[in-house]
Amino acid sequence: MDESLYEEMGGAPFFKQLVTGFYSGIVNDPVLSPMYPAEDIDGAIHRLTMFLTQYWGGPTTYSQERGHPRLRMRHNEFPINSEARDRWLGLMSESLSKLELAPHLRDQLWTYLVTAAHSLVNQPDN
């Protein structure tokens, strides 16, 4: 990933704000909140922030701390159907809408998040 995309998006403060805003929605979501570690929300914020930072070309702290991302495997223990996916994306969209970001960067980030979220669905819908 081109390092300048991370910088262009706003670097560390941008990713921290995006993920912190997202998690403030997670803790109040009746479907998603039970999946997340209530006692370690700061840790969860750190993991997702570092992952997105690394993905967009910033520091590689995520892999140093967690190894290979293996996102699909790491999500196996959580029941992700289309409702969970769409709630996750809805909270991310809400957080993203509160931040300043040039449209061409917003489009790239959003396309990535939608594709990634679709790839993590691991449960059929009832």
> Rounded to the nearest 5 degrees, what angle is found at the Cα of 114, between the Cα atoms of 60 and 61?
10
The one-character DSSP state at 2 is -
To ligand HEM, the closest distance from the beta carbon of 103 in angstroms equals 20
Interface residue with ligand HEM among 7, 20, 29, 78 (CB under 6 A) is 78
In the chain, how long is the greatest CA-to-CA distance? 43
Interface residue with ligand HEM among 17, 20, 80, 108 (CB under 6 A) is 80
The mark string for 6-45 relative to ligand HEM (x by CB under 6 A, - otherwise) is: --------------------------x--xxx------x-
Question: Applying CB under 6 A, does 85 fall inside the site for ligand HEM?
Answer: yes
* Token pair 């700061």: residue: 42
Using CA atoms of 113, 118, 121, 124 in order, give the dihedral in degrees to the nearest 10. Answer: 150
CA distance 67 to 84: 26
Question: Applying CB under 6 A, does 5 fall inside the site for ligand HEM?
Answer: no
Which residues of this chain interact with ligand HEM, rule CB under 6 A?
32, 35-37, 44, 47-48, 51, 66, 71, 74-75, 78, 80, 84-85, 88, 113, 116-117, 120
